[in-house]
Structure 1
Amino acid sequence: MLRQRIITAVILAPLVLAGLFGLSGGAFAVFTAAVILLAGWEWTNLAGVAGVAGRLGYVALLALLMLAGWYSDAVNAAWPLWVACAGWLVSVYWVAGYPDRGRQWRSVTARLTIGLWVLLPCWAGFVQLRDSGAQWLLYVLLLVWLADIGAYFAGRRFGRRKLAPRVSPGKSWEGVYGGMAVTALLALGYTLGFSLSPGDGLWLVVTTVGVTLVSVLGDLLESMFKRWRGIKDSGRLLPGHGGILDRIDSLTAAVPLFALLRLWH
């Protein structure tokens, strides 16, 4: 399994980095759209769609909505990001009340609808961040990766209070705090590296800590649906790593919020 994970990472890492930072404009939008469409295929599994035709139909719907968003310029608007923020706020209620509140999203239709506000605003956020400068796209990626690393080690060393034991028993509040501490250091490093003013630096630290906290919801929401479906991974597209969604779940929450806060600032 470890060998398989390493081989997959060695093959994919250069391709992903080239796509994210070597492309711009329409080419970047197409590249990230392809990733989101693959994640959409996996989302149908979380939603409980069994037939291939139904799963392909959902992916086609995502693609059509992306095309409409691109040609209407909605991909560059703030409202998709606001939709995402509203959705993630509701997800707090669902995760905190799992499984009792499952009746609110138990139907296949409900879970497919949730996938729209999880995936499409994430794509819009990627496009907007890339247009604002590659450094901010890199920043949000580092934020999520470092948050995961900080949470893992802090949780192993200090984890006592469970974050959402019915959804993801391994996560703890101490792990969350560890992730926030590491990403706050990232914000300080960016402040110094890009010679930001004290006010801009403070804004970045506060924003980073908030986005780090929200990014956990992306992981928890997917974990909740996987637990409900009784599956370990969202898919098998990445040998040794599970599915695309398993790799970008935190980004689906972090990217739209960070992009929205960038628009504000």
Structure 2
Amino acid sequence: MAATRTRMISAFVMGPSAILAVLFLPTSWMAVAAALLFLGGLWEWFKLSGVEDSLSRLLLVALHMLLMVALAWGSHTAQGGTSALFDAVILVGVAWWVLSLLWLARYDFGSHHEGWSRVVKLLAGTLAVIPAWCALVTLHGTPQGSIDHGLIPKGHVWLLVALMTVWAADTGAYFAGRAFGKHKLAPRISPNKTIEGLVGGIVLGMIVGMAVVSFTGIALASLPAVAILCMVTVLFSAVGDLYESLLKRHAGAKDSSDLIPGHGGILDRADSVLAALPVFALVKALLGL
């Protein structure tokens, strides 16, 4: 009971704080806030990958911070900026999450902590975190006009659509899995996840995503495309969740850390988002939304 109460209190603090940040922070500040959050998750990722030495992890995180700075600097032009670099990184990120399905199908790959295994997992951290950050910044900064008399840019709302879709999917999967779950999704990686839970997550994620997207002023004719966007996003959010579960299984860890009371670490909260954001950004662009 106390654990559930702690979990709920943490959620009530984190949820509204994240929504307010997405809607009202300028994109430059949102990029900084997201970078700090994602780099914190990367710190945990490196520990799960077998980098126990804190100084080594700190150096690796610092290198990724410099990579983020370099991407932002390289995207700046005299005319204001170009998204070409960010778009290229997003494509790389989507390709990685597609390839990660092969890893998930081979549980033992990388489980024995050899040198090559650690290197591959470190590279996977880069391919997960940097594209997700690029996608977040790209979505948040999308110059598509504004709503509410210019108070909330549409790009901010599109990022909220992505995040709310993933958050709703997590909730739907939890309750549908508990109520109807009989068929295991990936029993060796995450015994509690079920196919019924995944279906419940897809349904609730689509409902919430389509509800939030209405605040962009989107035409009704575009809602089927939004439904497809949300469905694909939820499917890949499940891939991100499973991949982090795989890392934890290999490392013999229950959570990525104990930073957030009742919720584990940053990576435990962000795993689904890391996979979902690049896919959301790419599919949104392909569908012309």
Counterpart residue identity of residue 45, structure 1? K
Deviation of 1:114 (Å): 0.5
Match of 1:134 in 2: 156
Structure 2 residue ranges without an equivalent (≥5): 77-81, 143-154
Cα gap change, 1:236 to 1:104, in 2 (>3 Å): closer
Aligned CA RMSD, in angstroms, stands at 2.3
Instruction: Give the whole-Å Cα distance in 2 for the aligned partners of 1:31 and 1:110.
Output: 27
Deviation of 1:188 (Å): 4.1
Match of 2:74 in 1: 72
Match of 1:56 in 2: 58
Match of 2:255 in 1: 233
Instruction: Give the whole-Å Cα distance in 2 for the aligned partners of 1:28 and 1:186.
Output: 23
Counterpart residue identity of residue 253, structure 1? A
The number of residue pairs the alignment matches comes to: 265
SS of the counterpart of 2:141? helix
Contact preservation (8 Å) 1:94, 1:102: no
Contact preservation (8 Å) 2:209, 2:230: yes
Counterpart residue identity of residue 131, structure 2? P
Cα gap change, 1:153 to 1:138, in 2 (>3 Å): same
Deviation of 1:10 (Å): 4.9
Counterpart residue identity of residue 142, structure 1? M
Deviation of 1:202 (Å): 1.1
The one of 22, 41, 44 aligned to 2:43: 41
Match of 1:202 in 2: 224
Cα gap change, 1:188 to 1:98, in 2 (>3 Å): same
Deviation of 1:3 (Å): 4.4
Same amino acid, percent of matched pairs: 38
TM-score when normalising by structure 2? 0.84
Instruction: Give the whole-Å Cα distance in 2 for the aligned partners of 1:18 and 1:189.
Output: 18
Match of 1:116 in 2: 126
Instruction: Give the whole-Å Cα distance in 1 for the aligned partners of 2:57 and 2:44.
Output: 9
Any idea what the Cα deviations from partners look like across 1:178-210, whole Å, max 9, x if unmatched?
111112223443566655334411111111111
Deviation of 1:63 (Å): 0.4
Cα gap change, 1:190 to 1:242, in 2 (>3 Å): closer
Matches within 5 A, 1:158-177: 158-177=180-199
Q: Does 1:262 align with 2:272?
A: no
Cα gap change, 1:186 to 1:4, in 2 (>3 Å): closer
Match of 1:86 in 2: 95
SS of the counterpart of 1:240? coil
Deviation of 1:162 (Å): 0.9
After alignment, is 31-40 or 104-113 more displaced? Answer: 104-113
Contact preservation (8 Å) 2:158, 2:213: no
After alignment, is 233-242 or 35-44 more displaced? Answer: 233-242
Instruction: Give the whole-Å Cα distance in 2 for the aligned partners of 1:87 and 1:3.
Output: 37
After alignment, is 36-45 or 104-113 more displaced? Answer: 104-113
After alignment, is 193-202 or 214-223 more displaced? Answer: 193-202
Structure 1 residue ranges without an equivalent (≥5): none
Counterpart residue identity of residue 62, structure 1? H
Match of 1:27 in 2: 29
Counterpart residue identity of residue 185, structure 2? L
After alignment, is 235-244 or 251-260 more displaced? Answer: 235-244
Instruction: Give the whole-Å Cα distance in 1 for the aligned partners of 2:178 and 2:44.
Output: 30
Any idea what the Cα deviations from partners look like across 1:10-43, whole Å, max 9, x if unmatched?
5544543443322113211111111011111111
Contact preservation (8 Å) 1:187, 1:201: no
Contact preservation (8 Å) 2:7, 2:262: yes
Cα gap change, 1:234 to 1:97, in 2 (>3 Å): same
